[in-house]
Amino acid sequence: MISQSGRRWVVASVCLASLACGICALPKVVSAGSKAPYRVGLIAALTGPFARSGTLQGQIISFDEEFINREGGIDSRPIHIFGPYTSENTSPDMQSQMRRFGATHAGSMDKDGLLRSTVGIDKTRSYADALVCDDGAKNAGAVKCAEQLIERKVSAIIGPSLSGPTMEVIPLVEAARIPLISFALARSITEPVKAWIFKTAPTDRHAVTALLQHLKSIHATKVGVIAEESSFGSSAQQQILEQASLFGLTIVRSESVAPSSGDVTPQLKRIRDARPDAVIAWASLNVATRVTKDFQQLHFDVPLYQGPSVANSKHLELTGPSAEGVRYVTPKMLVTSELPDTDPQKPALVRYVELAKGSELTLEGAFGPYAYDALQILAKALPGSEGDRGRIRETLEGIRGHAGVTGMFNFSPQDHNGLSADCFAITEVRKGSWTLFRR
């Protein structure tokens, strides 16, 4: 039996997954008063190669917008992202159909990718336009989205989902002086600091720092590294090489592997011959899976550590028993129940996990929490702003001690990401699932 909130999640899922077909279902009831809403734009990769994660982000924003508005909004004003929709005057039979198919309202994407809900079920009722734009995971798409949202006079923008599209829109939103909170990973989004740009995703530096701190704590001194030959792998590899000495670690061998490689035993043999205390692998799914299997076949007697990008069920499915005992740098969400009650993130994590499980949403990966945290942080910056972009930006920059799902956020004029290595946990695969690593 799916709860009422669960049904709304399911409907949102159908809606966002169907945007490429020009079909959308968006049940909304705004009860936050009659004042003008806070207009917030959303740019996300709802279609294209990143659609699975981008759609999840859209679902989360949709649910959180409705929750905030049902609780009275901000300053008795609703937040308007997807916008006010209602299913009143809908027959019980149609409500049943809505629950099965998520078919509350018909909608369409305009030529610039902006979602516009135009007609109701009876094709006569009109609904407010959504301030949601699909960039298709493309840089040019994100630019069009930003132009559209600037034209629609939003007070802030959350998204885009990816680093490339985010970097492309930065000049536009800075020129328009609109605060933007990105969901993307690249350090260059907020380094150097840009006055109007913030982000909720941690960087590879945070993950590498968390891992190296752990290696120091277990008294490792010699480390081998194998990284994928890609911007993703090379960036982390460089971070490891630069930070190692800060933690008393020596990199005894560093290897690279092509993303298409089907055999990494030569690289692993060279690392084994260097006699490290631990091995770090930083790669995407296919290479990480190959490393995990070949590592076991070579009978290493030291632990293997993997980066956060492969902390998902697909990796465990592909690696099978080979992943047993492998350690990972992962978001804390994967081991929420094992965290000590003294962890300041735990209440936010518990709340998020309960909402997601009750709504049949995936808990895999960190892309959903990046979006959730962005809207939660923005909601802290809206009170008293009257929608003034400058006031919102100034308040964002002063937010400290915000316990998010991703981590503890402490923004400042010098730091528009606000996270630290503490946002990660060291986990270990035991009996086919992640558990908090304990010595």
Least confident of 138-142, 258-262, 372-376: 258-262
Structure tokens at 88: 């009143």
Domain presence at residue 344: no
CA angle centred on 422, ends 51 and 214, rounded to 5°: 105
Same domain, yes or no, for 163 and 21? yes
Q: What CA–CA distance (Å, rounded) separates 142 from 242?
A: 33
- Yes or no: say if 334 and 306 are a contact pair by the CB < 8 Å rule: no
Indicate the residue among 292, 325, 358 that finishes a domain: 325
> Could you give the number of structural domains in the chain?
2
Domain presence at residue 438: no
Q: What is the DSSP letter of 304?
A: E
Same domain, yes or no, for 36 and 57? yes
Same domain, yes or no, for 301 and 390? no
Same domain, yes or no, for 175 and 309? no
Give the tens place of pLDDT for each residue, 322-336: 999 999 999 999 999
Structure tokens at 365: 């990966």
CATH code where residue 38 lies: 3.40.50.2300
Same domain, yes or no, for 19 and 125? yes
Same domain, yes or no, for 177 and 231? no
156, containing H or E segment: strand 156-158
Domain presence at residue 113: yes
Same domain, yes or no, for 192 and 246? no
What pLDDT, on the 0 to 100 scale, is given for residue 359? 63
Structure tokens at 291: 């490393």
Give the tens place of pLDDT for each residue, 84-134: 644 443 333 333 322 322 222 223 445 445 544 322 222 322 334 689 999
Give me the helix-helix angle, 265-273 and 285-297, nearest 10°. 50
Domain presence at residue 332: no
- Yes or no: say if 28 and 66 are a contact pair by the CB < 8 Å rule: yes
Domain presence at residue 227: yes
- Main-chain phi, psi angles of 12, to 5 degrees: -60, -35
Give the tens place of pLDDT for each residue, 248-267: 999 999 999 999 888 999 99
- Yes or no: say if 230 and 238 are a contact pair by the CB < 8 Å rule: no
Q: Return the half-sphere exposure (C-beta side, CA atoms, 13 A cut-off) of residue 408.
A: 11
Same domain, yes or no, for 320 and 276? yes
Instruction: Give me the DSSP letters along 60-98.
Output: HHHHHHHHHHHTT-BTTB-EESS-----TT--HHHHHHH
Q: What CA–CA distance (Å, rounded) separates 326 from 304?
A: 5
What pLDDT, on the 0 to 100 scale, is given for residue 160? 97
What separation in angstroms does the CA of 359 have from each of 6, 63, 227? Answer: 4, 10, 37
Domain presence at residue 35: yes
Q: What is the CA radius of gyration of the chain?
A: 23
Domain boundaries, position 185: 4-201+349-414
Same domain, yes or no, for 123 and 236? no
Q: Enter the pTM of the model.
A: 0.81
Please report, as a single letter, which amino acid is at residue 223: V
Domain presence at residue 146: yes
Same domain, yes or no, for 398 and 256? no
Domain presence at residue 435: no
